[in-house]
Amino acid sequence: MGLAGKTAIVTGGARGLGEAYVRVLAEEGAHVVIADLLEDEGRALAADLGSQANFVRLDVTDQRQWRALVDGVVAQHGAPYVLINNAGIHSFGSVLDDYQNWRLVQDINLNGPFLGINTVAPAMIAAGNGGVIVNISSTCGFIGYGDQAAYVASKWAIRGLTKAAAIDLAPHGIRVHVVVPGPFATPMTAPFHGELTELVKSQPVQRIGDPPEAGRLIRYLVLDATYSTGSEFFIDGGAMTGMSLPDAGQ
Ligand SMILES: NC(=O)c1ccc[n+]([C@@H]2O[C@H](COP(=O)([O-])OP(=O)(O)OC[C@H]3O[C@@H](n4cnc5c(N)ncnc54)[C@H](O)[C@@H]3O)[C@@H](O)[C@H]2O)c1
């Protein structure tokens, strides 16, 4: 119960990997604010966790909604100690495709986390107890993938945002980390689950990840990674380590 008496905000926390982050933070005693567009899923998860969680509808691209969220959290639960900038969308599309899709992906996957940091960090600083911010990249933030130009660019950029924020916020005792997930089974990846099943055969750990495995990394980062900031933490089945040849006998 290392987070008893502390408040956490998880964007995109209503389902998928975000739900796993919500559950692990609640297990550690935090009060968790599930901030998402999905009202039914978010309220159901909050109900499941009882007094340890509540749902707030948030579009991460809307600065006014962020301000209202933070004001409400501070008034009702105390200043946030943890922010998990998890909300994101995946999108296929090459560099030849339309600008509108590019802008939407950057708005949610990059500008959303910026607004989160920009709005939540001042409340952390005012409270004077430090804090932990975790951003979510992807293996798409380490190499390029075809036909995913906007997503790849957004997930590279969030690593840069993490490093800048880590330096800016270190004097206030706020750590900023970035997690690099490989393929996980979530509603986001459900439409191409078959392709992922094939892809993971080239990883050292030849399977798709289970969201609670990512939850355990979040627990480590929030509670124990006290001498780290600005760094990338991989949970990718070794995908960024390298690949084996199809007939290498593994
Ligand atoms: N699943 C994977 O394999 C994988 C791999 C690498 C990185 N990621 C990243 O992990 C994060 C979570 O992915 P997931 O697989 O759980 O996806 P998901 O689609 O299952 O969940 C994403 C959540 O974000 C919410 N969301 C989307 N746009 C929002 C907005 N504008 N405002 C507020 N909430 C919004 C959705 O409603 C949803 O609840 C994303 O940032 C994703 O890019 C996922």
Q: Which of 146, 149, 139 is nearest to 181 (CA)?
A: 139
Q: What is the pLDDT of residue 1?
A: 78
Q: What is the pLDDT of residue 249?
A: 55
- 248 C-alpha to center of ligand 1: Å? 34
Classify residue 245: in a domain, yes or no: no
Give the mean pLDDT of 209-235: 98
pLDDT in tens, 34-59: 999 999 999 999 999 999 999 999 99
Which residue has the CA at smallest separation from atom 18 of ligand 1? 188
Classify residue 31: in a domain, yes or no: yes
More confident residue, 250 or 81: 81
Q: What is the pLDDT of residue 133?
A: 99
Res. 106: pLDDT tops 60: yes
Consecutive H or E run containing 180: strand 174-181
Classify residue 127: in a domain, yes or no: yes
Classify residue 250: in a domain, yes or no: no
Expressed as residue numbers, the domain containing 41 is 7-235
Classify residue 188: in a domain, yes or no: yes
Res. 246: pLDDT tops 80: no
Classify residue 228: in a domain, yes or no: yes
Output the pTM of the full model: 0.98
Which residue has the CA at smallest separation from atom 17 of ligand 1? 188
Classify residue 116: in a domain, yes or no: yes
Give the mean pLDDT of 148-172: 98
The size of the chain, in residues, is 250
User: Any idea which of 200-204, 217-221, 240-244 has the lowest mean pLDDT?
Assistant: 240-244
Structural domain count of the chain:
1
Known catalytic residues?
151
Q: What is the pLDDT of residue 244?
A: 78
* Furthest CA-CA distance within the chain: 59
pLDDT in tens, 127-151: 999 999 999 999 999 999 999 999 9
- 122 C-alpha to center of ligand 1: Å? 25
Q: What is the pLDDT of residue 243?
A: 82
Q: What is the pLDDT of residue 164?
A: 99
Classify residue 95: in a domain, yes or no: yes
Query: Measured on CA atoms in the order 199, 138, 235, 29, is the torsion positive or negative?
Result: negative
Which CATH number goes with the domain that contains 60?
A: 3.40.50.720
